[in-house]
C-alpha cells in the first residue's frame, strides 16, 4: 500500500507554488494554478492535483506552456468576453476573464467567456463552482487533445472534453455541481494506472483496433472508451464545437498531448456561460433547484453529482489531505 503524508490545503498550495516558480512560472500564473491544485486535492480528485505538478513543471521547462504569458482580455460585445491565454496556463486566463464575465452576466442576465490558446485547465468544476459562488448558474466546456475515436472508427478525433454545470444555492455556495467527461473515465486516471503499473478495468480504454483492453499502456496508444457509446462521442462533439470551433482554439485532433514533451503548446480552449437564474426564474430558482436535489437525497442510497466532492472539501478543511509520498518526493526534488 502506498505511503501517504497528510498536508493542509495551505501546505499543498505553497508546495505547488514553490515548484511552479522554480520551473519558470511567474507569480501570477503560479498562484492561480497552485490555488486550483489545492482545491482539486480538497475535492478528492488526486489524479488532477499534486500528481500533475511534476508534469506542469516539465512542460514549463520544455516550452509546452508559457509560464510568463499574460492573458489578453477583450469584450467586443456586451455579453461576450474573449481571452487569449497566449499559450499560457488556462487558470490565469479564466480568472482574468471572470473579472469581466461576472459583472456582464449580472448586468445583462447572461454572458459568455471564450478562451483560446490555453493549456490544460485542470478540473473544470473548480471554475464553474467559482461562478456559482458568485450567484450565477454556470456551464463550462473545455476541449482536450484527441483521444476518443468516432463511432465505428478507430482513430481518435475528439478529446475527453469535459462539461460542467454548477447551480447556485442562493447562499454563496452550489446546490448542484456536475462535472463529467465524454469518456468513461478521465484520461489522467489511465495515465495514473500506467505510472503505477496497474491494469485498468475493462470498459475504460480500447486498443488501436478498437477492442477493449485492460493494459493502460495499450489504451494510451489506442483510444478512450466514450461514455455511453455513441452518446459520449456526441457529447465530445458538442464540447469541441463550443470550446474549440467557437473560440478559435486548436481542435483536439490538431492539439499536442497534455503529456510528454513533444508537440509544443496544445492551444486548446474553454467556454463559460454565466446566467442570472434568479431573474430568469422569477426569483425562486434556489427553491426550485433545492426541491430537485432534495428529491434525490430523500431516496435511500441515491447520490447527487457533486456531493462526494463537497464532503471531501469539508473533510480536507478540517483534517487536511493524505498525499502519496512518492508524489511529494518528486515535487520537493523540483
Q: How do residues 153-162 score in pLDDT, each as one tens digit?
A: 999 999 999 9
The predicted structure's pLDDT at residue 87: 97
Give the span between the Cα atoms of 205 and 207, in whole angstroms. Answer: 7
The burial of 269, by beta-carbon neighbours within 10 Å (0-12 exposed, 13-18 middle, 19 or more buried), is given as buried
124-138, 186-200, 284-298, 312-326: range with lowest mean pLDDT: 186-200
Residue 129 has pLDDT above 90, yes or no: yes
In words, the CATH class of domain 1-62+306-334 is mainly alpha
Catalytic site residue 59?
Answer: no
User: pLDDT band for position 309 (50/70/90)?
Assistant: very high
Note the pLDDT tens digit of each residue in 318-328: 999 999 999 99
Identified catalytic residue from 5, 11, 47, 58: 47
Specify the higher pLDDT residue, 80 or 196: 80
Write down the pLDDT at residue 277.
95
Q: Are 142 and 243 in contact (CB under 8 A)?
A: yes
pLDDT band at residue 47 under the 50/70/90 scheme: confident
- C-alpha R_g of the chain: 19
Q: Is 189 a catalytic residue?
A: yes
- Whether residue 333 has pLDDT greater than 70: yes
Q: How confident is the model at residue 53 (pLDDT cuts 50, 70, 90)?
A: very high
Q: Kindly tell me if the per-residue pLDDT of 2 is higher than 80.
A: no
Catalytic residue, candidates 39, 41, 48, 164: 48
Q: Which fold has domain 72-183+226-298?
A: Ribosomal Protein S8; Chain: A, domain 1 (3.30.1370)
Classify residue 85 by burial, with Cβ atoms within 10 Å: 0-12, 13-18, 19+: buried
Model's pTM, two decimal places? Answer: 0.94
Q: What is the DSSP letter of 251?
A: P
- pLDDT tens digit sequence for 166-209: 999 999 999 999 999 999 988 878 988 888 889 999 989 999 99
47 is catalytic: yes
Lowest mean pLDDT across 86-90, 206-210, 253-257, 270-274: 206-210
Residue ranges per domain, the chain?
1-62+306-334, 72-183+226-298
Q: Would you place residue 1 in the very low, low, confident or very high pLDDT band (cuts 50, 70, 90)?
A: low
Amino acid at each position: 500500500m502506498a505511503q501517504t503524508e497528510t498536508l493542509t490545503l495551505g501546505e499543498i498550495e505553497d508546495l505547488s507554488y514553490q515548484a511552479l516558480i522554480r520551473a519558470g512560472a511567474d507569480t501570477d500564473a503560479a498562484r492561480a494554478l497552485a490555488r486550483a491544485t489545492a482545491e482539486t486535492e480538497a475535492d478528492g480528485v488526486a489524479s488532477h492535483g499534486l500528481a500533475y505538478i511534476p508534469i506542469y513543471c516539465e512542460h514549463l521547462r520544455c516550452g509546452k506552456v508559457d509560464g510568463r504569458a499574460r492573458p489578453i482580455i477583450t469584450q467586443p460585445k456586451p455579453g461576450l468576453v474573449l481571452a487569449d491565454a497566449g499559450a499560457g496556463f488556462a487558470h490565469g486566463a479564466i480568472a482574468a476573464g471572470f473579472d469581466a464575465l461576472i459583472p456582464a452576466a449580472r448586468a445583462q442576465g447572461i454572458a459568455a467567456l471564450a478562451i483560446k490558446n490555453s493549456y490544460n485547465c485542470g478540473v473544470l468544476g473548480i471554475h464553474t463552482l467559482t461562478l456559482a459562488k458568485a450567484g450565477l448558474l454556470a456551464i463550462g466546456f473545455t476541449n482536450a487533445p484527441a483521444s476518443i475515436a468516432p463511432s465505428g472508427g478507430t482513430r481518435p478525433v475528439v478529446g475527453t472534453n469535459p462539461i460542467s454545470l454548477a447551480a447556485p444555492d442562493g447562499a454563496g455556495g452550489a446546490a448542484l455541481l456536475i462535472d463529467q467527461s465524454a469518456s468513461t473515465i478521465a484520461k489522467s486516471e489511465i495515465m495514473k494506472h500506467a505510472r503505477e503499473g496497474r491494469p485498468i478495468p475493462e470498459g475504460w480504454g480500447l486498443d488501436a483496433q478498437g477492442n477493449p483492453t485492460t493494459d493502460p499502456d495499450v489504451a494510451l496508444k489506442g483510444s478512450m472508451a466514450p461514455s455511453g457509446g455513441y452518446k459520449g462521442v456526441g457529447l465530445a462533439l458538442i464540447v469541441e464545437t463550443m470550446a474549440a470551433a467557437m473560440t478559435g482554439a486548436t481542435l483536439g485532433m490538431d492539439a499536442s498531448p497534455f503529456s510528454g514533451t513533444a508537440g509544443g503548446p496544445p492551444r486548446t480552449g474553454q467556454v463559460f456561460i454565466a446566467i442570472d437564474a434568479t431573474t430568469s426564474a422569477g426569483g425562486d430558482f434556489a427553491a426550485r433547484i433545492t426541491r430537485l436535489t432534495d428529491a434525490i437525497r430523500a431516496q435511500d442510497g441515491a447520490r447527487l453529482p457533486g456531493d462526494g466532492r463537497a464532503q471531501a472539501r469539508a473533510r480536507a478543511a478540517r483534517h487536511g489531505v493524505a498525499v502519496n509520498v512518492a508524489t511529494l518526493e518528486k515535487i520537493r526534488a523540483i
